[in-house]
Amino acid sequence: MPVPSRFSPLSAAGPWPASSLCALVALLTLACETPPADSGESESPGAEADVATTDAATDSTAQEADTAAQEAPDPEAAIIRLDPNDPNLEVWRDRDISNDPPREPGPIRVGSVLTFFGLPMARTIEDLVAGEVEVAFMGAPVDMGVGFRGAGEGPTALRAMRRSTGSMETMISWRRELTAVDYGNAPIDNLSTERSMPPIRRMVREIAETGAIPVIIGGDHSIEFANVAGLADVYGKENVGVIHFDAHYDAGGTRSGHLISHAQPVRRLVDEGHILGRNFIQVGLRGSWPGPEGFEWMRENEFRYHTMAEVDRDGWTTVMQRVLDEANDGPEYLHISFDIDVMDPAYTSGTGTPVPGGLTPREVFPIVRGLCSENNVVGFDLVELNPLVDPGYTTTLNAKQVVDECMTGIALRKLGLGDRDYLSPLTRRDARR
């Protein structure tokens, strides 16, 4: 079966025969099974719909196909449910630290082991508290929300980058100014985007509850839902604003029955009431998606959005100042969700859904640094880095720099230098001027 993409909502074979077959087989074989226990956190139905369709089509005869094609599909029966008796059903949800040696809580220096920016590691909430950690990096290696593998390798690629931080623009080394750790990866279910959301959300919440800033390295953009919902759990519904850097608006509706994928986190955050539309600021939209309905939905929900068409008309400097001003005109707490595909594919070929005509590094780095220095940033995510299609590591290098710029901004704010235009007096001009 072809894998549906965000650009081809209907499968090539047409949806009815396959899903009806699936309904028939599912009814015969699975009607007695019960759904898995409720985790107490919101999850979406429909996780296994694609798998059910494939299996049913393989196992059924042509005669059954004729019969099934005439019947209306039963959406419930289209789902092959998880096996609630599998002893491994939930084991992946918790990190196993039972073999860790006994030790005092606190950040652990790990030498040459690869961590984000060479930072010490933290394994438990107690480590974060004892170390008075201000920034905790975590990986969220979700692949399935984009539909093909690669984005899940993003955290590993970023950990493998050179460790230098800071730059001569500010002469600030954030690694010296901030207490930061690598908190490891969130546990995910590689077969289900839906099931991966609650553990990521829980881990973001854990970090935020200690007062630290979670920096989540994806993974595809589905994780924005878990990240922002986790922050809203701690700071309160409607109390967090989001700057969404992306070529795509990611507020798509249901997709082959799925209610979370990398095209849907924004819609879900608004629909569930975590974030008010007017506190969403979209930057960098372009290409063929969404059409008029998507923009009308954003207008109805009072979104602020800045397309590349606006940049073409008014210039980046003007648009950048607008975004920085708007970020100051919102809730006290701010999350930045940075989809690497907001940048032009010239700089970021290593991503799942590149769109020509994007921002340059020269445009992106100052706005990210400015936003992080001028606002009370309580969360940051970097998503859609796919190192498997990143020859030369250009995308990974730029992704690392984006994160670095935000960390520099947070350090500037801590040092009382938090304004959008801060540059070191040493580097902005030489001694003659």
Q: Output the smallest distance, CB 259 to Mn ion, in A.
A: 16
Q: Output the smallest distance, CB 107 to Mn ion, in A.
A: 32
- According to the binding rule CB under 5 A, does residue 221 interact with Mn ion? yes
Identity of the residue, 78 or 226, whose beta carbon is nearer to Mn ion in the bound complex: 226
Identity of the residue, 157 or 266, whose beta carbon is nearer to Mn ion in the bound complex: 266
Identity of the residue, 266 or 411, whose beta carbon is nearer to Mn ion in the bound complex: 266
Q: Output the smallest distance, CB 285 to Mn ion, in A.
A: 10
Q: Output the smallest distance, CB 70 to Mn ion, in A.
A: 40
Q: Output the smallest distance, CB 261 to Mn ion, in A.
A: 10
Identity of the residue, 250 or 404, whose beta carbon is nearer to Mn ion in the bound complex: 250
Tokens 């984006």 sit at which residue?
Answer: 402
Q: Output the smallest distance, CB 266 to Mn ion, in A.
A: 9
Segment near Mn ion (CB under 5 A); pick from 29-37, 117-125, 158-166, 245-253: 245-253
Identity of the residue, 250 or 390, whose beta carbon is nearer to Mn ion in the bound complex: 250
- According to the binding rule CB under 5 A, does residue 250 interact with Mn ion? yes
- With contact defined as beta carbons under 8 Å apart, do 337 and 372 qualify? no
- According to the binding rule CB under 5 A, does residue 381 interact with Mn ion? no
| Binding residues with Mn ion: total (CB under 5 A) | 5
Q: Output the smallest distance, CB 220 to Mn ion, in A.
A: 8
Among 246, 363, 381, 390, binds Mn ion (CB under 5 A): 246
Identity of the residue, 134 or 220, whose beta carbon is nearer to Mn ion in the bound complex: 220
Identity of the residue, 208 or 283, whose beta carbon is nearer to Mn ion in the bound complex: 283
- According to the binding rule CB under 5 A, does residue 267 interact with Mn ion? no
Identity of the residue, 44 or 210, whose beta carbon is nearer to Mn ion in the bound complex: 44
Q: Output the smallest distance, CB 348 to Mn ion, in A.
A: 12
Segment near Mn ion (CB under 5 A); pick from 66-74, 307-315, 333-341, 405-413: 333-341
Segment near Mn ion (CB under 5 A); pick from 238-246, 270-278, 292-300, 404-412: 238-246
Q: Which residue is nearest to Mn ion (CB)?
A: 221
- According to the binding rule CB under 5 A, does residue 339 interact with Mn ion? yes
- With contact defined as beta carbons under 8 Å apart, do 207 and 183 qualify? yes
- With contact defined as beta carbons under 8 Å apart, do 68 and 17 qualify? yes
Can you give the binding site for Mn ion, defined by CB under 5 A? 221, 246, 248, 250, 339
